[in-house]
Amino acid sequence: MFKIGDFSRLGQVSVRMLRHYDKLGLLTPSHVDKFTGYRYYTVDQLPRLNRILALNDLGLTLQQIADLLGDRNDLPVEQLRGMLALRRAELEQELAQKRWQLANVEARLRQIELENDPDPYEIVVKELEPLAVASIRHTAPTAMEVGYFCDLLYARLYRYLSESGISWQAPELTLYHNEEYRETDIDMEVAVPIAAPEVASDGVPDGTLPAGDESPHFHVIPGCTMAAALFFEGPFDQLLAPIQALVRWVGTHGHVPAGPLRELHLSGPAHVEKAGAHLPVIELQIPIIPID
């Protein structure tokens, strides 16, 4: 048998918590010396202690753990593994959300710091030619999940083109169709330029691909006489600042957007495994017209 201090080290839990578990009847000592009051534990009590700690990490209260375990020490490993896997996924989601919020805070702070300075991005106005594409349109639940859905949809699109024997061209591009700034229900379209003959066989009219149909379609993204554009080299999770700069430039130069924001991946497909550590090169484009 182990004294409470030795069992504390063995189970990696404080003596204070062991005493608390005892008080709640959650993990009682195997033996208590009636003269000294010393608590003693046995090695076969470790499985119950490990389950208590694991369930507590899942967010269950000690009372809930007591109700779940009862007098048993044999909560099935598979059941516990499933609960832990679910909690791990929840924590990863929470962590990703906090990282996203931090990136937004840093972008806003940077915007404030540069209010009286020239924009760090060189913005040009250019003409955009009509572009024949194969694309899939989808609504992402939140802005934070756009990257996940880009990965999923581009993989589906490239797989469809390969299986259909249709060649594509570079660069791929993502379009964002929301007419206002949104952090939820992001109306996005992943697209890959293709040779024009395939477009005629699809039946989708030129212009914006209708929302709601997530099958691959062929259509033509309209050209425009004026589009504001900038180049950005850096991680995709740092795109907020250059997007803000581009939109700000459009407004301060007497124009308004006349089409969806386009995100061109100039350094190659963004959502495939690449060798090396080169930063993505991205061109952001917004079709524009003068304010009436």
Percent of the chain whose predicted confidence (pLDDT) is above 90: 29
Q: Assess whether pLDDT exceeds 80 at residue 172.
A: yes
263: three-class secondary structure by DSSP: strand
pTM: 0.62
Centre a 10 Å sphere on the Cβ of residue 222 and count the other Cβ atoms it contains. Answer: 15
For the chain, domains (ranges, CATH) are 2-75 (1.10.1660.10), 124-290 (3.20.80.10)
DSSP assignment of 157-221? HHHHHHHHT--B-S--EEEE--SS--SEEEEEEEEEEB-THHHHTT-PPSSSPPTT--S-EEEEE
Average pLDDT in the chain: 82
What is each CA distance from 128 to 200, 222, 226, in whole angstroms?
21, 8, 7
Model confidence over 113-143: pLDDT tens digits?
666 666 678 899 999 999 999 999 999 988 8
